[in-house]
Amino acid sequence: MKTIALTIACLCVSVFARTAAAQVWRPLGPEGGDVLSLGQDAANPQHVFLGTADGHVFASDDGGEHWELRGRAGSRLDSVVTAILVDPRDARALYASTWTRDPSAGGGVFRSGDGGRTWAAAGLAGKAVRALAMARPAADAAASVTLVAGTLDGVYRTRNGGKNWERISPEGDPELNNFDSVAIDPADADIIYAGTFHLPWKTIDGGLRWTPIHTGMIDDSDVMSLLADRARPGRVYASACSGIYRSDSGGEVWQKVQGIPYAARRTLEILQDPARPEIVFAATTEGLWKTTDAGSSWQRITPADWSVTAMVVAAGAPDRVLIGVDQRGVLASDDGGASFHAANSGFLHKQILAAQADATHSGSFLIALANAPEFLAATTDSGATWKPLGQGPAQAALGRIYASPDGWWATLATGGLERYDQSKSIWVRAGRAWIATEQRPVSREVGSAHAHGTTAAPPGRLAPLDAKIGDMAFAPREWYAATRTGLLASSDHGADWKPVHIGALTKLPVESVSVSRDGRTIWIASLISIANSADGGASWRWIDFPAALGVIQRLQAADGNSGDAGAAAQMALVVQTSKGLFISRDFGKSWDATGHGLPEAPVQDVAIAGSIYLAAMQFGGLYLSRDSGLSWQRLEGSIAEGYFSSVFAGPPSEPASSSAGGNVVFYLASATDGLYAIEIGSGGDAARGSDTRQ
């Protein structure tokens, strides 16, 4: 994988507080991610834009070779950017269409006047805008932008850049709905083509009358893309679930394109070379296809297993083609598609399901990725390079990942553990559980008489560990695993596990376990109860947790001075439940709900470094506390507004930064933007303000 070390400096994000620099964000990668749409500035083809499934818009000024995150189209984290259009008279003016994965929210159109850095609503709020097209600008430089949008309930048009929209398809029509594509005739903006989930339609008078145009097209075709030829009037291309079609009569009659196999019928986009109209590209779920004779013959120019989601043709050079490929990010060709190379520098949009740092090796991380060729990837140089980490558990089988003192471990959703065998570069099933054997009566012969008694059979046996493990903790001599049937301990680095007696109990559901660095202080959470041992598990004390606060999901014990769970001074118990975050500073006698400034909502994860807490919310957003959770402030900026699957503090021995001393470093695994390090300044208020990239 291409190194990103040289680009980290220019990708750093500084978030400034009112009184002092409070945070510095450093992207750690990996590069790449899901591409939902690509757009281009026709006046300067090197300016290209990229839309994602969480509303983010990236930009490139060199034809897609290097990228930077500009902003988010709207405020929602589930906004799918279906199109990005650039006003050819003003490169700073962008329009983005969106729909949301939450059907009740819909979507809308957004406008940016500063090249994608900030966005404002530009109409159709609450409507799922699946397609957006821009009419060719009028000769009058003062004329407003005309846009046509296809939504789930009709076709809409604006003649003033989104200030006002009008429905131009009949309301309530049983066929004129569920629009997936739109195209405007280059010579006449009143001629509009629109594709629905069921066949295409056309208007020649700006929407006053609509006519079905599907002669020659297989019935029940979902028309996913439409292209009106720039050079030949009346020639139109359409992609449908039944294949690719071309019409030379403005859609009156269609002819199915031959040569593209039936398996590649899912064609998400058709684009024409702007200078050579006979060259057309088709982005399909089975590769990128190209015709040099206006569709008479086609050739696949990428591997068949590339699912192409978006593309840009002539990105700053006649033969430069950019494509978005599922699981691979952005790929670029400088020879018309004969060869491609990765072009993900600065495009950091991987979906991280879980992440962990190796406390014994600075800069070493393991992440679990969604929708990527490599499910588990590792770095040993703080993200400069990443590589797959062996054939590990499948995504559906993975529970959580942990860094033990001597390597990586993973819990399995179906039960049991796997560890990474570095010598063989493979993951192997590991761990045996001690199963007690019941005593049985035996007969013992003494002389000629028989005396009956009970003699202990062997005390137990070892069997493969198959318990479902919800949490793990590591101390120098003992490792601990929280399971639904009790707490397990291992004194041989995870090879064998034995049940831990919690007082008189050996079987109880343990949700979470926390242990001090010296191993003497142990905390466990069991649904609505907490137990504590101050002598390495020899004796235990129970603490009731108020049932009204919910069922405990995770417990952390922290000292406000050092972060050592074993220290009593300023010790705090931090508990996550389905109802929120709760903190006790008196060993469980009383509990503070959330703290000032933190929403009363479920928390996804909490990281603790001394008195500085960082909380990631289940519904998105980050909150920072500098006083052990007494008060909180929301972190602002496009990245901080996202959803984070996990957050964790840097190892205690890790140097915070080469800048100001006393800073702490947290690591954040974004569900959309890869892995980040955030350096929190030792003084000043929690951050407010906006992201700036240098």
Task: Please give the Cα distance from 402 to 388 (Å, whole number).
Answer: 17
- pLDDT greater than 80 at residue 415: yes
Domain ranges of the chain: 31-349, 468-593
Percent of the chain at pLDDT exceeding 90: 67
* DSSP codes joined into one string, 348-410: EE-EEEEEEE-TTSTT-EEEEEESSS-SEEEESSTTSS-EE-SS---GGGEEEEEEETTEEEE
Contact yes or no for 402/472 (Cβ under 8 A):
yes
Percent of the chain at pLDDT exceeding 70: 86
Strand pairing report for 32-33 and 348-349: parallel
469-481 pLDDT, tens digit each: 999 999 999 999 9
114-169 pLDDT, tens digit each: 999 999 999 999 999 999 999 987 666 567 899 999 999 999 999 999 999 999 99
Buried b (16+ CB within 10 A) or exposed e, 355-369: bbbbbeeebbbbbbb
Give me 606's structure tokens. 């909490």
Task: Please give the Cα distance from 70 to 93 (Å, whole number).
Answer: 13
Instruction: Tell me if domain 31-349 and domain 468-593 are identical in fold.
Output: yes
Q: What is the pLDDT of residue 685?
A: 43
**Residue 229: closest CA among 294, 182, 181:** 294
502-536 pLDDT, tens digit each: 977 768 899 999 999 899 999 999 988 999 999 99
Give me 412's structure tokens. 């399995």
- pLDDT greater than 80 at residue 446: no
296-321 pLDDT, tens digit each: 889 999 999 999 999 999 988 899 99
Distance of CA 321 to the CA centre of its chain: 26
One-letter amino acid of 268? L
Task: Please give the Cα distance from 540 to 542 (Å, whole number).
Answer: 7
Task: Please give the Cα distance from 607 to 622 (Å, whole number).
Answer: 11
* Partner residues linked to 240 by β-bridges: 223, 243
Label residue 460 exposed, middle or buried (CB < 10 Å: 0-12, 13-18, 19+).
Answer: middle
Contact yes or no for 627/634 (Cβ under 8 A):
no
**Residue 619: closest CA among 65, 75, 144:** 75
Give me the half-sphere count of Cα atoms (radius 13 Å) on the Cβ side of residue 457.
Answer: 11
213-236 pLDDT, tens digit each: 999 998 878 899 999 999 999 999
Q: What is the pLDDT of residue 438?
A: 55
- pLDDT greater than 80 at residue 690: no
Contact yes or no for 392/375 (Cβ under 8 A):
yes
Q: Which residue has the higher pLDDT, 256 or 456?
A: 256
Strand pairing report for 426-430 and 21-29: unpaired
Contact yes or no for 644/668 (Cβ under 8 A):
yes
- pLDDT tier at 386 (50, 70, 90 boundaries)? very high
The CA distances from residue 153 to 111, 149, 194, 533, 627, in Å, are: 22, 11, 13, 62, 51
One-letter amino acid of 438? E
Distance of CA 590 to the CA centre of its chain: 37
Task: Please give the Cα distance from 327 to 30 (Å, whole number).
Answer: 12
For domain 31-349, give the fold: Methylamine Dehydrogenase; Chain H (2.130.10)
Strand, helix or coil at 280? strand
Q: What is the pLDDT of residue 338?
A: 96
Task: Please give the Cα distance from 531 to 176 (Å, whole number).
Answer: 63
Task: Please give the Cα distance from 341 to 60 (Å, whole number).
Answer: 16
Task: Please give the Cα distance from 121 to 123 (Å, whole number).
Answer: 6
Buried b (16+ CB within 10 A) or exposed e, 2-31: bebeebbeebbbbbbbeeebbbbbbbbbbb
* DSSP codes joined into one string, 440-501: EEEEEEETTEEEEEEEPPPSEEEEE--PPEEEEEE-SS-EEEEETTEEEEESSTTSEEEEPP
Q: What share of the chain is helix, strand, coil (3-state, %, to 5)?
A: 0, 45, 50
For domain 468-593, give the fold: Methylamine Dehydrogenase; Chain H (2.130.10)
Choice among 403-412, 445-454, 593-602 with the minimum mean pLDDT? 445-454
Q: What number is the average pLDDT over the span 11-40?
A: 71
239-252 pLDDT, tens digit each: 988 888 999 999 99
Choice among 68-77, 441-450, 626-635 with the minimum mean pLDDT? 441-450
Task: Please give the Cα distance from 685 to 317 (Å, whole number).
Answer: 48
Q: What is the pLDDT of residue 639?
A: 86
Task: Please give the Cα distance from 167 to 169 (Å, whole number).
Answer: 6
- pLDDT greater than 50 at residue 637: yes
Neighbours of 641 (CB within 10 A): 19
Q: What is the pLDDT of residue 243?
A: 83
Query: pTM of the entire structure?
Result: 0.84
Q: Show the CA angle centred on residue 265, arms to residues 259 and 269, nearest 5°.
A: 100
Q: What is the pLDDT of residue 263?
A: 61
**Residue 693: closest CA among 2, 95, 27:** 27
Task: Please give the Cα distance from 402 to 359 (Å, whole number).
Answer: 10
Contact yes or no for 152/128 (Cβ under 8 A):
yes
The answer, yes or no, to whether the previous bond of 212 is cis (omega within 30 of 0) is no
344-384 pLDDT, tens digit each: 999 999 999 999 999 888 899 999 999 888 899 999 999 99
Choice among 168-177, 382-391, 471-480, 563-572 with the minimum mean pLDDT? 563-572
Contact yes or no for 638/617 (Cβ under 8 A):
no
Task: Please give the Cα distance from 15 to 666 (Å, whole number).
Answer: 15
Strand pairing report for 496-499 and 432-436: parallel
Q: Show the CA angle centred on residue 199, arms to residues 238 and 123, nearest 5°.
A: 85
- Tell me what the pLDDT averaged over the chain comes to: 86
Q: What number is the average pLDDT over the span 392-409?
A: 88
Strand, helix or coil at 558? strand
- pLDDT tier at 650 (50, 70, 90 boundaries)? confident
| Category of 126 on φ-ψ map: left (φ > 0), alpha (ψ -120 to 50) or beta | left
3-state secondary structure 156-212: EEECCCCCCCEECCCCCCCCCCCEEEEEECCCCCCCEEEEECCCEEEECCCCCCCEE
